[in-house]
Structure 1
Amino acid sequence: MNLESPKISVEKTPEEVFNFLSDIKNFESLMPENISKFEVLDEDKFLFALKGMPEIILKKKEVTPPNKIVLGAAGGKIDFSLTGNIIQVDENSSEVQLEFTGDFNPMMSMMIKGPINKFIETLATNIPNAI
């Protein structure tokens, strides 16, 4: 399953956006309002939970400054990744798009597609206000 957020314009350079997303504690400010738990486990890993959902641990897996950050599932039964792609528009602005990739059975995909789509859209739309 591959899902993409809308492209979000940010009045910051790709380096500024990359540096913000590289610091995983900043993800707390991007989370939806229905977050019930957020905890930084170490400099590359955090745990979060949304109301009514299981806890999820994300770990920084790959960084390509200043254009790409990949977070992946750290443990658990489901393997997925969340990629932040940062594209320079001009010298003081950029676009950010989040991509979710996971390998799920068709039943699971049907159940989680809507909530995950909404989740990555919320993360992306919160980026300009959070930086």
Structure 2
Amino acid sequence: MTLIESTTEVNLPVEKVYSFLADLNNHKQLMPENIYNWSSTEDEASFTIQNMAKLAIKISNRVENQEITAIPTEKPPFDVELKWTVTDNGNGGTIAKHIISADLNMMMKMLAAGPLQKLADHQTQKLAEVLK
């Protein structure tokens, strides 16, 4: 399993950051420009990644004010799990970590690990910008 992680700090309480992330409708604001055909509800989202794949995900697990996990609802090119964790930074702010777990063979890892890392980094950066 390949783990791709990206972390950011947001100057808002854990509850506010968790509340934002727990609603997949909000995730459109975190997506890069190569994502299109976005459609979502609070619990599910589907979108197309330009030149890659169409992906549909749903929230599979919520631990209030701690983590949100999303998994594909349709068979993706490889097994993947998207997780956000939120923890208090000790100063009233939040450390948000985005973890993508992907089951990539060596060839897929060479092709997909870079873009997945860029996606995770983009999403954490956008989270910090959106939740100022």
TM-score w.r.t. length of structure 1: 0.92
The answer as to whether partners of 2:4 and 2:99 remain within 8 angstroms in 1 is yes
Q: Deviations over 1:47-90 (max 9, x none)?
A: 11222121111110111110111111111142210110111013
> What is the deviation of 1:119?
0.5
Aligned-CA RMSD value: 1.3
Q: Which amino acid aligns with 1:25?
A: N
Shift in Å at residue 91 of structure 1? 5.1
Q: In the alignment, what sits opposite 1:104?
A: 104
Equivalent residue number for residue 50 of structure 1: 49
**In terms of mean alpha carbon deviation, does 102-111 or 20-29 score higher?**
102-111
TM-score (norm 2): 0.91
In structure 1, the partner of 2:63 is: 64
Q: Is the 8 A contact 2:84 2:97 kept in 1?
A: yes
What stretches of structure 1 move > 4 A for 4+ residues in a row? none
- Listed as ranges, the gaps of 5+ residues in structure 1 are none
- In structure 2, the residue matched to 1:75 is 74
Aligned partner of residue 89 in structure 2, secondary structure: strand
How far, CA to CA, are the matches of 1:17 and 1:43 in structure 2?
15
Q: Which residue of 1 aligns with 2:3?
A: 2
**Where do 5+ consecutive residues of structure 2 fail to align?**
none
Residue 34 of structure 1: how far off its partner (Å): 2.1
